[in-house]
Amino acid sequence: MILMLWIPDFGILRNRIGIGRKMVPLIIMTLISAAMPGDEQDAEAGVGGWRLANSPSAYLREHSENPVEWHPWGDAAFEEARKLDRPVFLSIGYSSCHWCHVMRRESFSDEAIAAYLNANFISIKVDREDLPHVDEVYMDAVRAMTGGGGWPLSVFLFPDGKPFYGGTYFPPRQRFNRPGFLEISGSIIKAWNTDRGKMRESATGLLDHLSKRDQRQHEGQSMELFLGGGIQSAASSYTLDPPGFGAAPRFPSPRFLQFLVGEGSLSGDETSVKRAVSVLREMAAGGIYDQVAGGFHRYSVDAPWQVPHFEKMLYNQGSLAESYLEAGRITSDDSLLQIGRATLDAMLSQFQLQDGSFAGSWDADSGGVEGSYYVWTPEQVKETVAPESVELVCDHFGIEEEGNFEGGEASVPRIAMSLETAAKKHGLSLESAQKRLDQAVSKMLKVRDTRVAPKRDDKVVLGWNALAISGLARGATILDESRFREAAVRAYGALKGSLVEEERFLRRRDRHVSEKGEAHVVEGNPATLQDAALWMKSVLDLYEATFRPEFILEARRCWEVILKNFGPLETGEALYEAPEGAEILMGRRKDYFDGAIPSGNATTARNLLRLYELTGESVYLESSMNIVEAALSRVGPYPMGASELLLAVQALQRRVPVIVIAGDPSKETTQRMLESALQSKVPFSVVALRPEGEAGESAEKAIPLLEGRSSGEVEARAFVCIDQVCEVPLEKVENLVLRMDQLSREIRTDNESKSSESKSE
């Protein structure tokens, strides 16, 4: 067995964030039998993961029964490693991760492997959802070492935390030309005992490479070039059959799709709009969308979106619902709006907790078997639905004898045949076929609920809940659904005061039942900038869903707390991702790319622009511009990895209209004007309400743009404002609709001109 230690090759860039190609091998050590476990096991080793038994993390508690002596993340573990002069084995995962469960069962429950780890390493287990800043640092290091990453993340460290070797999933012993975890561990101890100096040089070189990469700046990146780069990246990576970007596995890219629809609409680029819509439709028709109960799985293992990796994450539901709704609004595509609505309904039924907040995820596994809860055979369909509906259901959902999952044993339901085609095939009217299908799906759902269900992790994560609130708020705004509005406000109430405090934000809340059966809520670590920024966005979205001015006051307060915790915001620099005190290895990081959730800096920039439009206070615009310019210099020519930044640049570069409706919200004309403004096809429109009387005076104090705007002697008036200048008020709904259509054409013409100028330069 071979262990390779690596140093960076600075000469060749490999991927979107400037990481070099796979590190150049520095030394190669061959495993010898003396390094294998057996002879030097400690008689006292193997007491197991008792330190994790009462952890607030469900993921850590799952590992408490392992024979591995796990430590939680903290100074105590590293001090023990220094005291015993041992390397650290760091394992990072999360509760709904399939391969994390596999490694837990295969390797961490293996007595021989556990004994070797206990005798030679200090082992640390981390929940990436609880300590995202720890995960990001070591994931970055492993990507630099190997060119790839994922979970479970397996990293070997010096007692000072510096990584020297890493990977993802390892089988317990060598197989299929993959090194085994036992052999790797033995090789590392052999190198630790004989060539530690060279290992130290390798680790130092890696961190030096990462530090220089993070400090790299790209010159000459204008906003128009960046937006054009996003369109060009989509064109070069798009595949028509099946629709999507890049090769498998395929992950949903809700913000990027939202960007393409908006930019295409704003610039007259219908091709970009069609590309985005085709991907949205294909995902909704695939197995990545739960065709029986609704909601999206995390990603698809194949290019046609048919077979998912089955965990369901809260952040996917909120983000995708919003993108379907925004794309449906801009394109007037009712089918996209319907998927957005169904995704929100699924999120409410599957993720909502008793207090109105939302659980974090559903596991990929069901009773230790991936996907068994979701897949079907023709025989199972036959046993479940009415006899006359069996063939219709199997044709529509692609449930066949030779299935598409686990070697053909079963099928992941997908839209394999349109209902119109299936109805025609079986001699049914579309209405009759829809009725049969609805009845069949209802029965399938009831039968599925009797199966061994995946576990739900009830951890309440601030940023993920904020995405859920934003999705619900946009659903309330675009669809005018009061139930979504009520759910969004209720979730806000559950988090405000618990995870959102006066002077700080907390990352997560977890309901934990102790060994004595006592339930209690444990509040976790400080939040990240992503969490705080998404919370700020959610309250801005709540304002447009309710027109309650206290949400604008909360957004303004959020910015002050963000500055305090993640600042200072210096000229040419952006905000820190983690609060003070969360330094890992190279200190506090400033991140600009999106991960599973959008970039905190880019989200903040968008939030600040919205506040500027409502308040006219230039400090918000200046801060937004500062963050965007800093991000552009770091992101450079890799726009697909920074979709939230694309949206921020879009909002800054395009003409953002603010529509103020002045009038009594109980009056029909006011309501129709609000509806016309909120459902306008112009991306990034900001809508505000100035009620009459004392309510209006109160709203003015929170939103300076409302000052001097009133309905006058008519029932309601609309003020269309651009760049803080408001046009002559409109007193008829029809005139507002015409003005918004005209504005859309003006913006398109203006953007086509900007694009031409940028290309000529």
Residue 234 has pLDDT above 70, yes or no: yes
The larger pLDDT score, comparing residue 524 to residue 218, is at 218
Residues 398-423 have pLDDT tens digits of 999 999 998 888 999 999 999 999 99
Domain boundary among 215, 240, 268: 215
Burial class (CB in 10 A: 0-12, 13-18, 19+), 338: middle
pLDDT given for residue 1 in this prediction: 32
The H-assigned helical ranges of 147-215 are 181-194, 196-215
Residue 31 has pLDDT above 80, yes or no: no
pLDDT given for residue 492 in this prediction: 98
Residues 98-131 have pLDDT tens digits of 899 999 999 999 999 999 999 999 999 999 999 9
Residue 25 has pLDDT above 70, yes or no: no
Q: Rounded to an integer, what distance in angstroms lies between the CA atom of residue 484 and that of residue 477?
A: 9
Inside any domain, residue 245:
no
- When pLDDT is averaged across residues 724-748 and rounded to a whole number, the result is 91
- When pLDDT is averaged across residues 184-212 and rounded to a whole number, the result is 91
The larger pLDDT score, comparing residue 637 to residue 569, is at 569
The kind and range of the H/E element at 661 are: strand 657-663
- When pLDDT is averaged across residues 4-14 and rounded to a whole number, the result is 32
Query: Which domain, by its residues, includes 659?
Result: 655-761
Pairing label, strands 88-93, 122-127: parallel
Short-list 205, 288, 203, CA closest to 252: 288
Burial class (CB in 10 A: 0-12, 13-18, 19+), 723: exposed
The larger pLDDT score, comparing residue 343 to residue 526, is at 343
Residue 687 has pLDDT above 60, yes or no: yes
pLDDT given for residue 250 in this prediction: 97
Helix H, strand E, coil C: the string for 198-235 is HHHHHHHHHHHHHHHHHHCCCCCCCHHHHHHHHHHHHH
Upstream peptide bond of 639 is cis (omega within 30 degrees of 0): no
For residue 74, what are the contacts with CB-CB under 8 A and spacing of at least 6?
Answer: none
- When pLDDT is averaged across residues 181-194 and rounded to a whole number, the result is 94
Inside any domain, residue 241:
no
In this prediction, residue 713 has a pLDDT band, given cuts at 50, 70 and 90, of confident
Amino acid letter, 7? I
3-state secondary structure of 634: helix
Inside any domain, residue 541:
no
593, 635 contact by CB (below 8 A): yes
The kind and range of the H/E element at 71 are: strand 70-72
Residue 28 has pLDDT above 80, yes or no: no
- When pLDDT is averaged across residues 607-620 and rounded to a whole number, the result is 96
- When pLDDT is averaged across residues 346-352 and rounded to a whole number, the result is 98
Residues 149-186 have pLDDT tens digits of 999 999 999 999 999 999 999 999 987 777 899 999 99
What the block records as the tokens of 594 is 């999106």
Residue 555 has pLDDT above 90, yes or no: yes
Domain boundary among 166, 185, 215: 215
What the block records as the tokens of 320 is 């995708």
Inside any domain, residue 567:
no
Phi, psi at 17, each rounded to 5°: -110, 20
Residue 256 has pLDDT above 70, yes or no: yes
Inside any domain, residue 355:
no
Q: Rounded to an integer, what distance in angstroms lies between the CA atom of residue 647 and that of residue 715?
A: 36
Point out which residues pair with 370 in neighbouring strands: 365
Inside any domain, residue 354:
no
pLDDT given for residue 756 in this prediction: 62
Phi, psi at 308, each rounded to 5°: -90, 165
In this prediction, residue 317 has a pLDDT band, given cuts at 50, 70 and 90, of very high
Residues 50-62 have pLDDT tens digits of 999 999 899 999 9
pLDDT given for residue 208 in this prediction: 86
Kindly report which listed range (157-171, 199-213, 455-469, 578-592) carries the lowest average pLDDT score.
578-592
Inside any domain, residue 45:
yes
In this prediction, residue 427 has a pLDDT band, given cuts at 50, 70 and 90, of very high
pLDDT given for residue 147 in this prediction: 87
Number of residues in the chain? 761
How many other CB atoms are found less than 10 A from the CB of residue 368? 11
Q: Rounded to an integer, what distance in angstroms lies between the CA atom of residue 436 and that of residue 428?
A: 10
Domain count, the chain: 3
Residue 21 has pLDDT above 80, yes or no: no
Query: Any idea what the CATH number is for the domain that residue 176 is in?
Result: 3.40.30.10
pLDDT given for residue 4 in this prediction: 41
- When pLDDT is averaged across residues 186-198 and rounded to a whole number, the result is 94
Q: What is the mean pLDDT of the chain?
A: 89
Inside any domain, residue 484:
no
pLDDT given for residue 654 in this prediction: 85
pLDDT given for residue 20 in this prediction: 35
The count of C-alpha atoms lying within 13 angstroms of the C-alpha of 139, restricted to the half-sphere facing its C-beta, is 16
Percent residues over pLDDT 70 in the chain? 90
Taking each helix axis as running N to C, give the angle between helix 733-760 and helix 668-678, from 0 to 180 degrees, rounded to the nearest 10: 20
pLDDT given for residue 355 in this prediction: 95
- When pLDDT is averaged across residues 133-160 and rounded to a whole number, the result is 93
Query: Any idea what the CATH number is for the domain that residue 747 is in?
Result: 3.40.30
pLDDT given for residue 592 in this prediction: 92
Residues 483-522 have pLDDT tens digits of 999 999 999 999 999 999 999 999 987 655 455 555 555 5
- When pLDDT is averaged across residues 662-685 and rounded to a whole number, the result is 93
Domain boundary among 450, 484, 499: 450
> Running DSSP on this structure, what letter comes out for residue 528?
P
3-state secondary structure of 346: helix
CA 761 from chain centre, in angstroms, equals 36
Amino acid letter, 175? R
The kind and range of the H/E element at 488 are: helix 482-495
Q: Rounded to an integer, what distance in angstroms lies between the CA atom of residue 488 and that of residue 471?
A: 8
Residues 61-102 have pLDDT tens digits of 999 999 999 999 999 999 999 999 999 999 999 999 989 999
* Residue in the structure block whose two tokens are 């900038």: 529
405, 358 contact by CB (below 8 A): no
Q: Rounded to an integer, what distance in angstroms lies between the CA atom of residue 393 and that of residue 384?
A: 11
* Residue in the structure block whose two tokens are 């552009």: 632
Residue 19 has pLDDT above 70, yes or no: no
- When pLDDT is averaged across residues 723-745 and rounded to a whole number, the result is 91
- When pLDDT is averaged across residues 243-250 and rounded to a whole number, the result is 95
